[in-house]
Amino acid sequence: MSTSGEQDTDQRSAEELADIEKKFDEGAATRTVSPGFGQFLRYVALAFATYHYLTAGFALPPDFWHMGWHLSGLFILTYALFPIFATSTAYDYSNGPFRIGGVPIFDILLMILGTASALYLGLAWRGIPALGIEEQTFRMGNPNTYDMVFGCILIVLVLDIARRTLGWILPLIICVFISYALFGPMFPGLLQHPGVNFKTFVSSMYFPQEGIFGVTLWVVSTIVFHFVLFGVIAQRTGLGQLFIDSATILAGRYTGGPAKVSVVSSAFFGTISGSSVANTVSTGALTIPNMKRLGYPGHFAGGVEAAASAGGQITPPIMGAAAFIMAEFLEVPYTTIVIAAIFPALLHYVGVFAVVHLMARRLGLQGLSKDKLPKFKAVWSHGWANVIPLIGLLMVLFAGYTPYMSAFCGISLSIVAGMSRIRQPLTLIYAAAFIAFVVWKYLGGGFELNMSIMLILGAVIATLNPQPRTTIGEMADTFETGVKYALAVGAAAAAVGIVIGVINTTGVGFRIGFMVTQAASNLGSDLHWLFSVGSWELFSVQDLTLFISLVFIALACILMGAGVPTTALYIMLVSVAQPALAQLGIPPIASHMFVLYYGVVAEITPPVCTSAYAAAAIAGSNPFRTGISAFTLGLGKVVAPMAFVYAPVLLFVSTAGFDFWQFTYTAASCIFGVICLSAAVVGYWLAPMGAIFRWLMALAGLVFIAPSLQADLVALIIAAPALISQVLQRNRSVQAA
């Protein structure tokens, strides 16, 4: 049952899927270079990955060197692989007198300048007397000529690599922040400030602690890259397929089976992948054709996959890059963020699952027949070893070790599970190397005895993997792919560091936050009379102020999210949202999670929704219509952040403490609200639902999400006519049957 204008595509080849991912995943589309230059870039990528892998396990160099090496790799690979303008022919191979290996000499020059400006900081940190350069401590705030030249080069080139990998929108927004810092006196009203001296600005943006060499680049170079690499290795060695097969076994036989498989497999896959587009392509390659064969319209099948996959960035334990940066901003362990994200992720998947189930009921779609389901014994007897790396990573992470140490252990166990086989003694060198590392860490006091035994046991068991062994060449390809995935997020992190530097230097976050709360307070005062009679009031001015502030911030997230990656969007908007919501008494973790959630919502909000467009390409459906389907399917995610701002207990780790009964009641209320919204979206609960009843269910769903007994009673009253109508209609259809 395909809608008009949708081509019928049942299966996509691996090459077609790779092309779709290249087209829609930021940073995946790269220029074709000559074989010789391609080999050079391969060595650079492998050296880049190996450097990060080894430093995660053994020791990190000083921050300025570590981030300098990371930036150098970004400059070399970005300028080699991404053309200056993304035209239709720019990615094709072309050679000439002004090109080396297919790369223009201009880009080679920028590559050299970028690498020099990234490494100069480390070289000049202790001073270079021969050039008259003092130690960095004496130059802070008073940069010399070399600092100014390399600093200006770095600022411009960081913006350029962000533009090449992510498009124009993010660099243009950052340029607005730069203009604000330099031309403060020209801005009106509360935004006006004395302005930042140009030398001071360059110093702040270039020297560590803030600006480009600040927290965002540190987190990406020290933590995020390793988890991206782990996700790619785990997927390529078989964990991704194990997730899809297990989801099919769990959900495939029920009403609307393939669509539920899409939701469950995307939830599983989201635990190891923070990329929405990669999640969409990896799981959608199987689930979207299955949904279409079952009878779902193509745009709905693509929307289901996009909405489910967008949850990857908020699904523990491996969330998107923004979650690691959040941990640094809040100065809490990453595991705290993981725990706080459990219920929000659950609520998102409940919403998508409910829509899928109700749509299947409405269309009368059945599940997969028993003969089409994978066999549990066959799936797990073949793929059980692929779970060991994920277990090892989580074990180390939740034992209190650093995130990069947990990633190191996860990657190491993935290599062992992929490449070491007990039947081939020479391949056991990988397992032996990791076991030697664990013993060394234990003897040096780095690992406790129980942790050491568990990791050694995991490495030994992983060598019993019955799957075909991954070769060195295949593993090298996987490492190279992981590096390419990390280019865009690295460029965004470096560029957004400028925004943080401007916010810290000018205090613009607090200024805009005050403006938001002031505007919300004025609007709340004007609307208060609608919700009060004499001395009785349904909502106080403070309640209205909070709600309007949340709406303002949510709209800003969704609007700015059109073309800005989630990580960059989160960093920019949390600087505004945190001061604004703190004034209204909201705990920091709730306000940070609120902004992160809406940043992810932007991924499935038309007109710019890359996950939905990738799903549409697989489904052969209209991209915009697929985006609309993804947005309606993700309505639960749109309203859920309101719930955990009003009830931080849903995040488990609120400073107000955890109350089990309050959590249970509030969680149940939110789930009821999401189910009501889902019924309104589909127009079906027990029977088809008319337009008036759909509006009543939608309104009831919104009120249910407000966590109070009073609000729930109001929601029940609103929903009652629709619910009674549904029960009566269902009884009549049963009697007629």
Residue range 111-163, pLDDT digits in tens: 999 999 999 999 998 888 888 888 888 888 788 899 999 999 999 999 999 99
Q: What angle do CA 210, 213, 218 make, to 5 degrees?
A: 105
Q: Which amino acid is at 480?
A: E
Q: What angle do CA 302, 305, 307 make, to 5 degrees?
A: 105
Average pLDDT over residues 676-694: 87
pLDDT at 93 over 80: no
pLDDT at 9 over 50: no
Question: Can you read off the two tokens belonging to residue 284?
Answer: 């959608």
Candidates 370, 365, 368, 369; CA nearest to 296 is 365
Element (H, E) at 262: helix 257-270
Q: What is the pLDDT of residue 484?
A: 86
Question: Can you read off the two tokens belonging to residue 727?
Answer: 């029960």
Range of 89-103, 436-450, 544-558 with top mean pLDDT: 436-450
Average pLDDT over residues 547-566: 78
Question: Over 166-205, what HEC string results?
Answer: HCCHHHHHHHHHHHHHHCHHHCCHHHCCCCCCHHHHHHHH
- The pLDDT tens digits of the residues spanning 420-450 come to 999 999 999 999 999 999 999 999 999 999 9
The half-sphere exposure of 68 on its side-chain side, counting CA atoms within 13 A, is: 22
What is the number of H-type helices and E-type strands within the chain?
33, 4
Does 235 reside within a domain?
A: no
Q: What is the pLDDT of residue 5?
A: 41
Q: Which amino acid is at 52?
A: H
pLDDT at 542 over 90: no
Q: Which of these three, 184, 217, 250, is where a domain ends?
A: 217
pLDDT at 95 over 60: yes
Identify whether the C-beta of residue 368 lies closer than 8 Å to the C-beta of residue 257. Answer: yes
Name the residue with tokens 């560091």. 497
Q: What angle do CA 553, 559, 561 make, to 5 degrees?
A: 100
Q: What is the pLDDT of residue 1?
A: 40
Q: What is the pLDDT of residue 56?
A: 93
Candidates 518, 599, 492, 520; CA nearest to 555 is 599
pLDDT at 274 over 60: no
194-208, 257-271, 328-342, 561-575: which has the minimum mean pLDDT?
Answer: 257-271
- The pLDDT tens digits of the residues spanning 478-504 come to 999 889 888 888 898 899 899 888 888
Candidates 242, 195, 574; CA nearest to 383 is 242
The pLDDT confidence band at residue 187, using thresholds 50, 70 and 90, is: confident
pLDDT at 551 over 60: yes
Identify whether the C-beta of residue 491 lies closer than 8 Å to the C-beta of residue 158. Answer: yes
Exposed/middle/buried for residue 249 (C-beta within 10 Å: 0-12, 13-18, 19+)? middle
Does 116 reside within a domain?
A: yes
Q: Which of these three, 202, 217, 232, is where a domain ends?
A: 217
The pLDDT confidence band at residue 275, using thresholds 50, 70 and 90, is: low
Q: How far apart are CA 70 and CA 66, in angstroms?
A: 6
More confident residue, 265 or 354: 354
Does 35 reside within a domain?
A: yes
Q: Which amino acid is at 349?
A: Y
The pLDDT > 70 percentage for the chain reads: 91
Candidates 261, 309, 244, 248; CA nearest to 281 is 309
Identify whether the C-beta of residue 106 lies closer than 8 Å to the C-beta of residue 80. Answer: no
Average pLDDT over residues 552-562: 77
pLDDT at 637 over 70: no
pLDDT at 314 over 90: no
231-245, 319-333, 421-435, 562-576: which has the minimum mean pLDDT?
Answer: 562-576
Does 401 reside within a domain?
A: no
Q: How far apart are CA 552 and CA 530, in angstroms?
A: 20
**Rg of the Cα atoms in the chain:** 27
Element (H, E) at 565: none
Average pLDDT over residues 716-724: 90
Exposed/middle/buried for residue 96 (C-beta within 10 Å: 0-12, 13-18, 19+)? exposed
Q: What is the pLDDT of residue 277?
A: 72
Q: What angle do CA 296, 298, 303 make, to 5 degrees?
A: 90
The pLDDT > 90 percentage for the chain reads: 26
End-to-end CA gap in the chain: 26
CA distances from 88 to 91, 130, 328, 383, 458 (A): 7, 49, 40, 41, 48
The pLDDT confidence band at residue 7, using thresholds 50, 70 and 90, is: very low
Alpha helices in 58-168 (DSSP H): 63-81, 105-123, 136-139, 145-166
Backbone angles phi, psi at 99, to 5 degrees: -135, 150
Exposed/middle/buried for residue 608 (C-beta within 10 Å: 0-12, 13-18, 19+)? middle
pLDDT at 636 over 50: yes
Name the residue with tokens 């590392």. 437
Average pLDDT over residues 630-654: 78
Question: Can you read off the two tokens belonging to residue 702?
Answer: 């919104």
Strand partners, 561: none
Does 541 reside within a domain?
A: no
Average pLDDT over residues 187-197: 85
pLDDT at 38 over 60: yes
Q: How far apart are CA 590 and CA 348, in angstroms?
A: 16
Sign of the C-alpha dihedral, residues 441, 442, 448, 449?
positive
Backbone angles phi, psi at 290, to 5 degrees: -65, -40
Does 450 reside within a domain?
A: no
Domain limits at 718? 671-737
More confident residue, 39 or 243: 39
pLDDT at 536 over 80: no
Question: Can you read off the two tokens belonging to residue 359?
Answer: 């749509």
CA distances from 557 to 179, 627, 646 (A): 22, 17, 19
Sign of the C-alpha dihedral, residues 568, 517, 183, 198?
negative
**SS3 (DSSP) at 163:** helix
Q: What is the pLDDT of residue 260?
A: 75
Question: Can you read off the two tokens belonging to residue 708?
Answer: 């109070």
Average pLDDT over residues 703-708: 79
Element (H, E) at 533: strand 532-533
Q: How far apart are CA 428 and CA 34, in angstroms?
A: 36
Average pLDDT, the chain: 84
Range of 244-253, 650-659, 675-684 with top mean pLDDT: 675-684
Q: Which of these three, 166, 192, 217, is where a domain ends?
A: 217
Identify whether the C-beta of residue 162 lies closer than 8 Å to the C-beta of residue 171. Answer: yes
pLDDT at 634 over 70: yes
**SS3 (DSSP) at 99:** strand
pLDDT at 702 over 80: yes
Element (H, E) at 20: helix 14-24
pLDDT at 566 over 80: no
Q: Which amino acid is at 527?
A: L
pLDDT at 4 over 50: no
Identify whether the C-beta of residue 176 lies closer than 8 Å to the C-beta of residue 461. Answer: no
Q: How far apart are CA 373 and CA 599, in angstroms?
A: 36
Candidates 107, 75, 72, 93; CA nearest to 30 is 93
128-132, 456-460, 608-612: which has the minimum mean pLDDT?
Answer: 608-612
Does 255 reside within a domain?
A: no
C-alpha 344, offset from chain centre: 14
Q: What is the pLDDT of residue 211?
A: 87
C-alpha 384, offset from chain centre: 27
More confident residue, 406 or 28: 406
The pLDDT confidence band at residue 576, using thresholds 50, 70 and 90, is: confident
Does 442 reside within a domain?
A: no
Exposed/middle/buried for residue 224 (C-beta within 10 Å: 0-12, 13-18, 19+)? buried
Identify whether the C-beta of residue 243 lies closer than 8 Å to the C-beta of residue 187. Answer: no
pLDDT at 522 over 60: yes
Q: What is the pLDDT of residue 429?
A: 95
Number of domains comprising the chain: 2
Q: What angle do CA 265, 271, 274 make, to 5 degrees?
A: 105
Q: What is the pLDDT of residue 568?
A: 80
The half-sphere exposure of 19 on its side-chain side, counting CA atoms within 13 A, is: 8
pLDDT at 6 over 60: no
